[in-house]
A and B are shown apart, each in its own frame.
Chain A
C-alpha cells in the first residue's frame, strides 16, 4: 500500500471548508436538543403519569433506534405526507439541513434527558431534607439546590454526548450535504485516494473533539469549584 502523506496535507484545507457545516449542525442541534431535554426530564421526574409516560416512551424510542434511521425517517419519510408538503413547515422540511437538525435535536434530547435524570438522582437526599426543613418550596429546592448539583454531576456524560453528536453529524453526508465527511467523500471520488483523504478528515474531527473536551473540562471546573481535589 502506498500512502502519500502530502495528500493528507493538501486535502486538509478543502476538508476544513466542510467543518463550518459540521459545527453549525452540532451547535444548533445541541442547543435545541438540550432545551428539549430539560422539558423531557422535568416531565420524566414530575411523578404525573400523563407526563411521565410520554417522556418515557419518547426517550425509549429515540435511544432505541439508530440515529441514521431517525434521519432517514425525517428526510425521506415526512415528504410522503401530503399535509406536511402543504404546511408552512415544508419550507424547512424539504431542506436536508433542517431535516438533520430535527433528527439530531430529537435524538440529543432523549440522551441528554437521561443524563440529566441521572444527575438529579445523584443529588444527596439529605440536601432535599435540609431544604425542606428550612422552608424552601419544591421549585426553590429544585432551582437552587438540585439543579446546580445535578448539572455538575451530568457534565462528564454530557461531554461524551456532545462528542457522539459530533461524530453523528457525519451522517448528513448520506443526505447530499457537504460536511467534513461529505467533502472528504467528494475528494475521494475525484482522487481515488480514500486513505489519505479520510485520515485528513479524521484529523479534523480529532481537533474538534479536543476542543469539546477542553470546553467541557473548563465547564466542569467552573461548576465544580466546590469539589475538593
Chain B
C-alpha cells in the first residue's frame, strides 16, 4: 500500500460534464506523498470541480482517478475508504452550527470510527490545540470569528487522520486580518509532511509552501511548475495575463 514511489493521487485524462457543459476537459496530474500543490486560475476554470472529484463530492465522467491505490469507481465501499483518507476544507467553513467546536470535531470519529465519547473528546482537544484554539472548544460556530471557524474546520478534518488534505479557497471568505492565522496553520501542516492540494490565490503562500503550482483555465491544466519558475517565467500567455491581474491588485 505504501510504496513511496507510487503517486498518492493520480488523475489520468479526467473529464467532468454538468449537462452539456464540460467543466474538466481531460485533466492529468500525479501527486507524490507529502507533496504540496497550489491550484490557481480564473473563476469557473474547474479548480473546485477537480478537487471535489478527488473525494468524489462530484463523480467524474471519464478518465481515471486513483487515490492511495484505490481507483474511484461507482462502488460505494471504496468511496468510504477514500473519504477516510482525504480531508476537505471549504471556503464557507461548513461547520455544523448546532454543535460546539469540540463536538464538531468529535462527530466523525464517533460515528465513522466508532470511537468512545471520552477518547473522541481527547482527540478533538488535541487537534484544537494544534490549531491554537483549545480555549474555544465549547463555543458554537456562530460565536467564533471567521478565522477561528476555519481553523476548527481544519481540525475537524484532521481528526479523521487523513493522508491528504484538500483546501478549496480556505481564506477567500475571511477578512484580511484573519487570513494569516489560517495560512499559518496550513503552513504548519505542510511542514509536518501532509500531502496537500490547495486552491488559493494567496501567491505568498504558494511561493513559501508549494512544491508545485498549477494554473487552470477553461477546464484544463494550462501550466504547471515549481513556484520559482512558475512565477518567474510563466510560458503560457493565459498564465501571464492571470498572474498580471492577481499580483498587481
Query: Which A residues fall within an 8 A CB radius of B?
Result: 124, 126-127, 129-130, 132-137, 140, 144-145, 148-149, 152, 223, 225-228
Task: Judge whether B57 is part of the interface by a CB distance below 8 angstroms.
Answer: yes
> Are A226 and B57 in contact, CB atoms less than 8 angstroms apart?
no
Residue contact B57 to A133, C-beta cutoff 8 Å: yes
0 or 1 for each of B139-150: is its CB under 8 Å from A? (1 = yes): 011110000000
Task: Write out the residue numbers on chain A whose beta carbons fall within 8 Å of the beta carbon of B142.
Answer: 226-228
Residues of chain B with a CB closer than 8 A to A223's CB: 98
Query: Given A130-B90, A135-B84, is A226 in contact with B98 using a C-beta cutoff of 8 Å?
Result: yes
- B87 cross-chain contacts in A, Cβ below 8 A: 133
Query: In whole angstroms, what is the CA distance A102 to B5 when docked?
Result: 69
The residues of A that contact B33 with a CB separation of less than 8 Å are none
Name the A residues within 8 Å of B90 (CB-CB): 126, 129-130
Binding site for A on B (CB under 8 A): 55, 57, 80, 83-84, 86-88, 90, 92, 94-99, 107-108, 111-112, 140-143, 153, 156-157, 160
Task: State the Cβ distance, A223 to closest chain B Cβ, in Å.
Answer: 8
Instruction: Tell me if A135 and B108 are in contact (CB < 8 A).
Output: yes
**A129-B92 Cα distance, complex, nearest whole Å:** 11
* With A144-B107, A225-B140, A226-B142 as contacts: A134 and B157 at CB distance below 8 Å: yes
Question: How far in angstroms is the closest Cβ of chain A from B57?
Answer: 6
Contact flag A136-B97 (CB < 8 Å), given A126-B90, A228-B142: no
Contact B140 A135 (CB under 8 A): no
> Inside 8 A of A140's CB, which chain B residues have their CB?
111-112
| CB-nearest residue of chain B to A151 | B98
The minimal Cβ–Cβ distance linking A227 to chain B, given in whole angstroms, is 7
In the bound complex, how far is the Cα of B80 from the Cα of A134, in angstroms? 9
A137 to B76, CA, bound (A): 10
- Other-chain contact of B112, A124, A126, A130, A134 (Cβ < 8 Å): A134
- CB pair A135–B112 under 8 Å, yes or no, is yes
Known A-B contacts A126-B92, A129-B90, A130-B90; A136 and B98 likewise in contact (beta carbons under 8 Å): no
Give, as a whole number of angstroms, the nearest-CB distance from B105 to chain A.
10
With A124-B94, A126-B90, A144-B107 given, name 14 new contacts (CB 8 A): A126-B92, A127-B94, A130-B153, A133-B87, A134-B107, A134-B108, A135-B108, A136-B107, A136-B108, A149-B97, A225-B140, A226-B97, A228-B140, A228-B142
Q: Which residues of A contact B86 (CB under 8 A)?
A: 133
| A133 & B88 in contact (Cβ 8 Å cutoff) | yes
